[in-house]
Structures are given as structure tokens and as C-alpha cells.
Chains A and B, each alone.
Chain A
Amino acid sequence: MIERNVSRRDFLKLSGAAFGMLAARQFIPPPVASDARQANLLDLNGDGYIPTICEMCVWRCGVVAKVNNGRVVKLEGNPDHPQSRGKLCARGQSGLMTTYDPDRVLHPLIRVGKRGEGKFRQASWSEALDLVADKMQAVKEKYGPEAMIFSSTHNLSQVQFENLLSGFGSPNYGTQRSLCFNAMVTAFLLTYGIEEPSRNYDNVKFILLVGRNLTEAISTSETSDLVEAVSRGARLVYLDPRYTKTAALADEWIPIRPGTDASFLLAMLQVITSEELGDCEFVKRYTVGCDDLPATMQNYTPKWAEAITGVPAATIDRIAREFAAAGKDALVHPGWRTSNFINSFQTERAIAALNALVGNVLRPGGCLIAESPDASNVPLGKPSQPPYPRVSAMRLDGVPWKYPLVPLKLGIFQELRDAILSGQPYQARGWLISRQNPVLSLPDRKRTLEALDKLDFIAVVDIIMNDTSWFADVVLPESSYLERFDPLSVVGEKIFIRQPVIEPQGDTHSALWIFKELGKRLGLGDYFQYQDEEDYLRIQLAPLKLNLDELKVKGFLESPSEKKNGEIKFNTPSGKIEIYSETLAKAGFSPWPTWEEPPYPKPGEYYLLTGKVGQHTQFATQNNQLLHKYEDKPRIWVHTSAAKTIGIVTDDLVRVISPVGEVILAALVTEGIRPDCVYMTPGYGHLSKGLVTAYAHGASDSELHMTFTDPISGGQALSQTFVQLAKA
């Protein structure tokens, strides 16, 4: 722990030693981030404040790191950053514990035992990189570049990871997206032409959250906005089979049957279109299909939905009217992790349609903005590079040859894993993974571990011995986010920098460096034409004629973009909001938001729900001791009546059995969940003994999840696994 209030009473012991140390401190400056020192962000004592960007989740809040004597002692939200506005969530506040985690991997590691034994030896970077490059090259020469899989969860250095992938010539790109938001992104791409509309809570009066547990799946600024809106009097209606903390905040919690959200929303569409309660003028002008919409929706009555969802028809009817009455100040949240059921895609389509009907999109003061939070008009520079080699091989994940509508950028991660196992259409031989933990994130962990066995070579870029690193052949240690530069992050019209707050501990490097060094050894040096990280950043800033040193000091620079004037246009084939989608029709799917029957559990089976907790980020943070201190112990939530049936009380151990696996976990008996559902605290059940705090703590639902893929969006269906329970 960081020692702060060293008592001066200890002068009784220190005497000479202290004096000596004190004297030395004047002459030997503490080790600090040299760049920060040069930028005058740190004084001679190694004290100062350095702006950077958080990486404890994907919201990437701006952070100001307080440094004392060369150590990070506190992290604050950067008030100038729109995602944080001066605040950080529990994970952001704990970030320095991740950097100073005693279980960090600080040197390159090469496996010496069997995979999964966790026996590694330390190696130099040159040896490790040479080995990775040799193995990758060997795969390429023997089996073709496509036999090498590259996967990474989206992050700031993603652009260079993709660069490596494309330069190498492999089409096989795995991201976490199909485990998360394929349904949402695909639906909004098809309907609005953008990946994800931004939300604006300034004037919102009615919010319908379909899942999207914002108080626990925290996105700092948006979570704050939601609370603010509710405090201000906005009405919050929340659909979720479980009584989450968002349910506690909401004015109305609707314990809807899992898999039936689309039914609820389609019924809302029916009510609104049948009586023209929406903004007809907006709808006529900006949507495709508004004329036929009422007829298409006519059978989706609230009464019909009641039988499916378990929600009274009167409630659905009322909510539809309340929603429509709020007009452009009504919002159905697009959701984020929408990998629940195969019909989640249709749920998202219905959400997109509902928002269009009240015309809240792109209207001044409206709560939906047809612009991705990620999108920006700021033209950052890029290092020059030759064109990529042509890729002739098919992708292993079936995009687009099996899944024509899934964007290439998203892919289908679980299909990629299954293709490794099946060897179809060809056998993958190697896997390069960066900042990702597929051993825990992919459904059906047994299959993932089997898939690893099929590969000749696995290399992982990680900061700690997480589960996937545990099974790797080579671990390349990246510096933590407080220790490195990354490509710039643009939010709106502001460009933010991530810069080292302390010198990297041990022998770690940034991803920019790692990818370049790997690229060089693979003969792809021409694709990495930057000297070092700062050179890269200067190249990025060059077209804007902005100064890197100024950026380092301020933490951000503004680059005003031209205001877009003129007609509201959507990036769809028709230029309008495509409630009716010709693209979907052509691909052989329903062009309208439509009802697809989900599977239902048999008697004695329960829906296995997953979700988020506010104190952790997926599977990445369970080893952080500060978060461990304040977390809720992992449990399986069981309703009181179900618990009585099984014969358990809170804290009893329960066997949770699915068709593909079994875990044992302590129970939390509660009224706060539907009687036909159970919920496992996500993120636990780590296999890596290198995570001293997290190892064997709780259980992982990846052990239980079956693999399902939505044919349209490629999204996983994490709630379609049904489980049985027994007292352990």
C-alpha cells in the first residue's frame, strides 16, 4: 500500500538513516516519467499532476494523475474531458492499484512447462519478439497468413493492431464485439446508418431502459446524466428480469420475461402507430416504411405481448402513450451489451424504430444524436505506409460468406473459436491476442480451452497474468495505461493524449512499440513508419498543425470542426431512417422489426442471466485489491421460491448445471429476481494462479454458457443458456 502519513514520531528509529536518505534525495532525483519531467509537469521532487486517459473500461475517461516523488498517489477525473467531467468511477479511482499490482507481468515470458501449468521463464524482449515473429512467420509460410488469428478488444492502439493484422495478410480478426453489441450496432447501422447514436439527457423527460443497467454497467458521464435526469424529474422505466440498482433508481421496474423485450417494444410500436401518437411529420419526412408500418405492427397488440412477456397489457399500453407523449424528449436507450437472445437484433430494430417515431433523433435538444460517440470529424494524420497485401482467404468466422450482414469490423468471435475447433474451412494454427481474455469472455469455456490445444502457437500481449496469458506460449508485457503513450483519443472536437505518468516498471513497453517491433521482425517494417510513440503522436497531430508538447501539458487540444449545415441525412442507402430495410429484405431477412420466438426453459430449468457490477470491468479487474476490498462477493441470485424448492438459504453452495458445464457457487436468496431466473455475478472464476487475489474466487459463467449466434448480427445470446440447480 502506498505509505502516506509516515509518522514523524518515528524519528526515534530513523535518526541517521533518515538524514542520509533526505540528503540523498536532494542529489538523486526520484525515477519519474522522463517525458513528463521534460514537459515540466513534474518538479524536482517528482511531484506534479499529469493528464492522461483511463483504461479501466472502454469509456476512457480523462484522468489527471497526481504524482508524488515519482509515484502515482491519486487519480482524479479530468474536468475537461466530456466522458468524466471531473469524476471517476470506482474502477477509475482504483487504477493505480492495477498499475502497482504485485502480480503484474514485468518481463517477457516464454513458456517452459505445459500449456496451462503456468511455468514460464523470463526472457529478453529480443528473444521473445524473435520467437513470436519466427512462429508467426512459420505459420504464414506453411499454412498461409490466414492461419494466424489476431484478436484484440477495442482500445486506443487498435489501429496499429489492425495494421499488423492487415500487413500480415490475415483476414481473421477477432474482437469482443459479437459477445457484446453486435445486435445494437448492426441494427443501428441498418436503420440509421451509424454504429451507435449518442444520448443527450439535458432535456429528456421519459427514459425507457431495456436492460442497460447504467448504474452498474457504469459509463461515468452517462451514468451521472441519468441520475441527474431522474433527480430533475424525468421518468425512468426499466425493463429487466432482475432488480438491479437501476431498478432501484427507476420510477417503474418491469420484471419482463427474458427474451421477450422485442414483444414489449413491438406492442409499443403498435399502440403508437395505430393511433398516430408519434411525430408524424418527422416520420413521414425522414423514415422509410412509415406508410406500411401500422399494418405491419397491427398484430403486435399489448394483449398479445402480455401473454409473452408477463407484463399486463394495460401497463404496456400506458408506457407506450407516456413515451409518445414526451415526444422528442422521450428516449428508448439503444442499449449496449445486447448479446442476450438471438432475437436481440429485433429488439434493437424495434428500439431504433421507436426513437424514430418520436423524432428525437438529430433534433436540436433531442435526446438521440445520430453520431457515434466514437466518430469525429477531426482528421488525424497517419504514418505513410504501403498498401496492404490482398487477402484471398475467407474469414474463419463466417463473415460475410455465412453472415452477410455482419460488418467486417465486428466479426463473430465465437464462430472464430468454433472454427479453430472444427478446422473448417481451414485449420487455424496461431493466435496473437492483445488486451483480451477470450478464455473467460467466450461462451463455453471448455471449448475455448480445447481450441487452444489445437493451435501451434499462442502469443499474448497483456499487463498481468490473466487467464488467457496463463495458457499462452509467450507473454509480451505491455506497460499499464499509466505507463505508456497510446494513439490519440478524439472526443467530439477535443483531442486527448494518453501519456506515461510514471516510467514503466520492470521491462515493459507500449503496444505501439510492441507492434512495431513485431512488425519489423515480420518484414512489415514499412507499415510502422514511426520512430517511437512520440513520433507517432506528432504524425497524428501534423495535419492539424498542433503541438505535442502543448498537448502533453494541457492534456487535450481543441480542433474545431466545420459545423455541418443543411439537410439531416442518414448514412443509409435511402438517406433516411430505414424502419423498413431493403438491405435486410435482400439478404432474406424480415425487412421490418419483427417478433422471433425465443426458447423457453423447461420446468426445473432457469434462465441464466448475466450482467455487470459497478466495481469491476468484465474479467479484467478482479485481481485489483482495492476493488476486491469493496466488491460484493460473487454469488448466484436465486429467488426465494426457487430457493425453497431446492432447499437452500443464502450462503449455501449451489451446483449450477448447464448442458455444457457445471460450477459451484454460493447462493444469494432474494426477492429481487424473477422466480424463473438466476443470475451469476460476472467476471469471476479465474483459472490463472498468477492472479493471487482473483484465483479461484467465485465461478465463471463461461463454463456454463452455450454458444448461439444470431444469423443477422452475429451476436452471442448469453441468456439463452438454461441451467438446473441443486444443493451442493
Chain B
Amino acid sequence: MPQKNHYGFVIDVSRCIDCRACLVSCSVENAVPMNHTRIWVHDLGLQGEFPDLRRTFTPYNCMHCDNPPCIQVCTSGATYKDKETGVVLVNQEACIGCGFCVEACPYDARYLDEKRGVVDKCNACDQRLVIGQKPACVTTCLGGARMFGDLNDPNSEAAIALKNTNSILQRLDIEYEKGTYTRPNIYYINSDENLNARLEPHQPQYTLAEQSWRKFFLPAVLVGVGATVLGQAIMFTKQLLQGESEFEDR
């Protein structure tokens, strides 16, 4: 689906110091429940042996993919890609909180808010974007690791960072259906790690309910309805051919 702008995150891994200001800022800005988080800083762990040690921190949130598996699986269309910005959003009014999308996300970026009965996740602080502010995590990032902007706009800080970096660009891109890649919109720069291998996005999981619906109940009903409709159509045709006799059944 073509969209007007192509918003995305650019994360400079070398600048993240795991201060977690972003996590708190997001929690406050989006009233995230205490037992959930919308964004992460993944600690890839202390590597090496004393004194030759290494440790990097990888900021992480919803990838706002170009081809999100979550949207593929949402029954009600509650989750969708915003036409203006490309941000993947959840319409809380339309969501019933069934959690199909939570299972389907390869990045485990979504959660079920038990109290409100709906699904939630990083929405790139959509409510801030509309008033010209950056997402809460990006605004407060002390190290300047988190960047956000329209990747199509050559003047945005995100596009500039992508252009100027000498490092490899990494994305946690995975193929989940033949020929279909998620195409995430978080670009990682300046990371020495193979992030795909370290962060391990997984294939979308589909719940038994959804699978049984798709594979069994859906075709079963279509066949059943098709059969009866066809049957009645045939009968009506027969009827037309037979004609109606006024005195047949009197």
C-alpha cells in the first residue's frame, strides 16, 4: 500500500548507553501498564573474558514493517498502516483484544493490555507526530541513539544518519511467506553484532483458533453455503423450467 511518507527509526547502536530514559518516557507518554512495556533496550550481554570485554545495547520497539504479519492476521482491521506516515497503529476502538496479532509478530512487539482488553504496542507516539513532536523515546534519548523521521525526506535526521554512516545498515528482515519479507522500518547502524542472529526474530505464530478458522471453518462454511445456495439456484431453475400450474396442488 503506497503511503505519503515513509517514517522509520534509525538506531545508532554505538550511542546507546542503556540509560532507559526512553523506556520511562514511553511508559509515561502512552500510559503503558506497569506489567508491560512497549519498547526495549536489549542488552546483548557481556561478551569476552576479563579484561577483554564487550557489551552493546540495542534499542528495540515495533518495527513498523512495510509488510507486517500482524496486519495480515487481524480479523477486524483494527491494526493498520497509517496512510500518511506508514506507522503501524492499533485502533483501540476496533480492537477486541483477541491477540492473534500478538502471536503473529516476529518481533514480539505487541502486548495484551488486560485491563482495557485490547492490544497495544509502540505507535511511534502518533499523538505527538500530529503536533510536530518526535516520539517520546527519541526526544529524550540522551546518547542520541534513537532517531526518527521520514526516510524519504533527505533533510530528516534519520535520513541524514542513514546517508552519512560508514557502517553496515542492519534490519531484522525476515521472510515469512514465500517471497514476502517483513521489511522493518528500524534501521540499525554502527553495530558490530549480527543483530538478526542475536535478537532472533521468529516466524509468525498463528493461534490454533485462527488456524482452525482459516484452514477448516472458513472453507467449511463457504462450501456449505455455496452448496445450499447452488442447490436452491438449481431448484429455482428447475422450477422456472417446470412452470407453475394453478391447479396442481388444489
Contacts and interface: CB of A to CB of B under 8 A. Distances in A.
Interface of A: 1-5, 7-9, 73-77, 86-94, 96-97, 215-216, 218, 220, 223-224, 227-228, 230-231, 243, 245-249, 253, 255, 614-615, 625-627, 629-630, 639-640, 670-675
B59 to A, nearest CB: 13
B55 A96 contact: no
Contacts of A220: 142
25 contacts: A2-B28, A5-B116, A77-B140, A87-B21, A88-B21, A88-B25, A94-B24, A97-B28, A216-B17, A216-B19, A218-B19, A224-B142, A224-B144, A227-B15, A245-B55, A245-B57, A248-B17, A255-B51, A614-B17, A614-B18, A615-B19, A615-B20, A627-B24, A630-B24, A630-B27
A217 to B, nearest CB: 11
B34 interface: yes
Nearest to A10: B116
Interface string B24-46: 11011111011001000000001
B18 A630 contact: no
Given A245-B18, A255-B51, A626 B143 contact: no
Nearest to B53: A243
A301 to B, nearest CB: 23
Contacts of B48: 671
- The listed residue with most A CB atoms (<10 A of its CB), out of B12, B21, B48, B143, is B21
B92 interface: yes
B20 A7 contact: no
B136 interface: yes
Given A74-B29, A75-B28, A227-B144, A89 B19 contact: yes
Interface of B: 12, 14-15, 17-21, 23-25, 27-31, 33-34, 37, 46, 48-51, 53-57, 92-93, 116, 118, 136, 139-144
Given A76-B140, A247-B53, A614-B18, 6 more contacts: A92-B21, A223-B17, A243-B46, A245-B17, A615-B19, A630-B27
Contact of A614 (B20, B50, B54, B92): B20
A421 to B, nearest CB: 39
A215 B34 contact: no
| Nearest 7 A/B pairs, CB to CB | A4-B31, A215-B17, A227-B143, A93-B24, A248-B55, A614-B19, A93-B25
Contact of B142 (A1, A75, A218, A639): A218
A228 to B, nearest CB: 7
Nearest to A73: B28
A7 B118 contact: yes
B11 to A, nearest CB: 13
Contacts of B31: 1-5
A9 B15 CA distance: 42
Contacts of A249: 17
A204 B49 CA distance: 31
A213 to B, nearest CB: 10
Contacts of A8: 93
B46 A626 contact: no
A243 B54 CA distance: 9
Contacts of B136: 74
A60 to B, nearest CB: 16
Nearest to B190: A231
Given A88-B140, A243-B46, A629-B27, A7 B19 contact: no
A47 to B, nearest CB: 13
A255 B92 contact: no
A216 B250 CA distance: 96
A248 B24 contact: no
A672 B140 contact: no
A223 B19 CA distance: 10
A620 to B, nearest CB: 16
Most chain B C-beta atoms within 10 Å of own C-beta, residue among A86, A218, A671: A671
B142 A89 contact: yes
A253 B51 contact: yes
B29 A630 contact: no
A255 B57 CA distance: 21
Nearest to A92: B21
Nearest to A624: B24
Contacts of A614: 17-20
Contacts of A96: 28
Contact of B50 (A73, A215, A639): A639
Contact of B144 (A7, A75, A228, A674): A228
A103 to B, nearest CB: 15
Among B33, B92, B143, find the residue whose CB has the most chain A CB atoms closer than 10 A.
B143
A19 B20 CA distance: 41
